[in-house]
Amino acid sequence: MYSSSSLWGGRFQEQIASTALEYTESLAVDAAMLTEDVWGSKAHVIMLNAGGIIDDEDARAILSGLGSASREIDEHTFAMDVADEDVHMNVERYVTSRHGKRGARMHTARSRNDQVVTDTRMHTRTLVLGVEQELIALQETLLALATDHADTLTMGYTHTQHAQPITIGYWATAYVSMFRRDLTRLSQAYRSTDINPLGACALAGTSFPTDRRLTTELLGFAAVQENGLDAVSSRDFGLEFLAALAIMVSNTSKMAEEIVYWSTHEFRLVEVADGYAMGSSIMPQKKNPCVAELIRGKTGKVYGRLVELLTTMKGIPTGYNRDLQEDKPPIWEAAASALSTVRTLNGLLSTLRFNEDRMRELAHKNFALATEVADYLVKTQNIPFRECHRIVGEAVGTLYRSGRTFEDVQATVDALAAAGATVTERELAPVLDPVVSVNSHTSLGGTAPAEVLRMVKAERDWLEAHKQTFDERQERIESAFRRTEAVSAAVIAGSSVHDALHSLGGNHHG
């Protein structure tokens, strides 16, 4: 009786059609989680032996096969065959082709269904940390910028129209606040990702005496994902990560947009460093903010990847369905794009030159102190704010129609008088000074330099605490990896799994 050469080929009488294989294989995408797949198999095999499910010789044979796979992966010589569809079956084939019947026991009490999502969660966990690391670096750039420019005047905008003077430090701490929330969302996505589905098997658990807590520990997961049906079905961790990335790049895009138009001749608020700009092939004078534009433009890819996975996940029933294979490309691609976006924005921002003279000049212009004048009237003349708003509005209208501005203090005094408020030039002059204005905005979260510096300090403290969580997570992953490698090496060298687990640390008692 003929059966297909595939690892699942027993019930088949024909080989898979080449069109079908090409359409369904996932090797190139899976290659990103080859290390995780082998690590997962080592942990699984150690657990199988610890529970007496496979014997010592089987465990030793499989672990030495996996050990040489690891070496080939590190040396980039591990060859995979598309005929084996995915990374899991390539690794299994590698082991069974070297260790025959013993190797064939490695897939006991496991399914590709729990295996693939274990690998995906492990790889995604690392991708989350990669993006976080870049975002932490960007926050450090912004905090330094905010400190240096706590009192550098500039214009604040609403509707892209002059609104009220602020400082560059204030602008920078606004972004620090946004990116802090992005870090919080990424951190939550990490938490949702960092649970272990391995041991769910196909969907329903198993009658073998597996120890899911042991694999959880060896793979550095924070907890077991208990319900097996949920474990093989759910990809909400990926959606959460993509949603966090989509929101994050909406923030990086916002900053990129500001850099694009602030660097125009019309604004002249900033100048992009030569290293972050490009020329034109025909117009010799051009200096284009191409990097900022692409930071804005690549946002589409990340949003798209979120919608891609949301759409894939729509209406998939519980249990593993092959649709789920489509989870990985959007996660990998969005993470790579978002990471390079944050890194590049950091380079762009840390080399950006702020045109302080132009910023100061604008802060004086265009009636941006009108709200200050209205507030002054409220405080000194006990007139209700709505009435002061009308008076100042009328005065601005009068000055504007006669081609004058607040810089003409006497004309402003006259216009206010005509609108119904008496103030002297001496009183009014400081009210029209943007430095006085900015310094007086000491309300909680206001633009006053003292308040900016207080926020910088609070954000720095938050970031330090976050970095600690980040380091702990990274260390948990690395130490779990080292332990699995060490146990595996000890077993290959002749130790029993039981002894190796006990002599090589960990918190496992069982």
Q: Which residues bind ligand ARG (CB under 6 A)?
A: 26, 86, 112-113, 116, 320, 322, 324-325
Nearer to ligand ARG, 170 or 320 (CB): 320
Distance CA 194, CA 474 (A): 12
Instruction: Indicate the residue among 113 and 253 with the shorter CB distance to ligand ARG.
Output: 113
User: What is the smallest separation between the CB atom of 57 and ligand ARG, expressed in angstroms?
Assistant: 29
Closest to ligand ARG by CB, 116 or 166: 116
Nearer to ligand ARG, 36 or 182 (CB): 36
Between 324 and 335, CB nearer to ligand ARG: 324
Write down the least CB distance from residue 19 to ligand ARG, Å: 17
User: Least CB distance from residue 108 to ligand ARG, whole Å?
Assistant: 16
**Catalytic entry in 280, 402, 479, 503:** 280
- CA dist 81 and 21 (Å) reads 12
Residues 115, 265: Cα–Cα separation, whole Å: 56
Residue 251, amino acid: N
Residue tagged active-site, from 76, 159, 265, 509: 159
Closest CB 59 distance from ligand ARG, rounded Å: 24
Assign residue 315 a region: left if phi > 0, alpha if psi is -120 to 50, beta otherwise?
left
CB of 8 to ligand ARG, least distance (A): 8
Separation CA 227–CA 231 (nearest Å)? 6
The DSSP call for residue 433 is -
- The count of other CB atoms within 10 Å of the CB of residue 104 is 15
**Smallest distance from the beta carbon of 236 to ligand ARG, in angstroms?**
16
Supply φ then ψ for residue 423, to 5 degrees. Answer: -140, 155
Secondary structure in 3-state letters for 469-490 = HHHHHHHHHHHHHHHHHHHHHH
Measured from the CB atom, the residue of 320 and 354 that comes closer to ligand ARG is: 320
CB contact burial 159-183 (16+ within 10 A = b; e otherwise): eeebebbbbbbbbbbbbbebbbebb
Choice between 26 and 253, CB closer to ligand ARG: 26
Six-digit token string for 485: 């490698």
**What is the C-alpha separation between 499 and 272, in angstroms, rounded?**
61
* Residue 172 contacts residue 345 (beta carbons within 8 Å): no
Question: What's the min distance (Å) between Cβ of 322 and ligand ARG?
Answer: 6
Tokens representing residue 151 in the block:
């009192």
We find the least distance from the C-beta atom of residue 509 to ligand ARG, in angstroms, to be 33
What letter represents residue 35's amino acid?
Answer: T
Among candidate residues 174, 136, 165, the one with its CA nearest the CA of residue 258? 174
Rounded least distance, CB 325 to ligand ARG, Å: 4
224 phi/psi in degrees, rounded to 5: -80, 140
Taking CB atoms within 8 Å and a gap of at least 24, the contacts of 252-257 are: 252/295, 252/299, 252/341, 252/342, 252/345, 253/295, 253/296, 253/299, 254/178, 255/175, 255/295, 255/345, 255/349, 256/292, 256/293, 256/295, 256/296, 256/345, 256/348, 257/292, 257/296
Q: Which is nearer to ligand ARG, 43 or 232 (CB)?
A: 232
Q: Which is nearer to ligand ARG, 33 or 363 (CB)?
A: 33
Interatomic CA distance for residues 236 and 240, integer angstroms = 6
Pull the structure tokens for residue 140: 């450090």
Residue 280 is among the residues annotated as catalytic for this protein: yes
Closest by Cα among 182, 174, 172 to 150: 172
Please identify every residue annotated as catalytic.
Answer: 159, 280
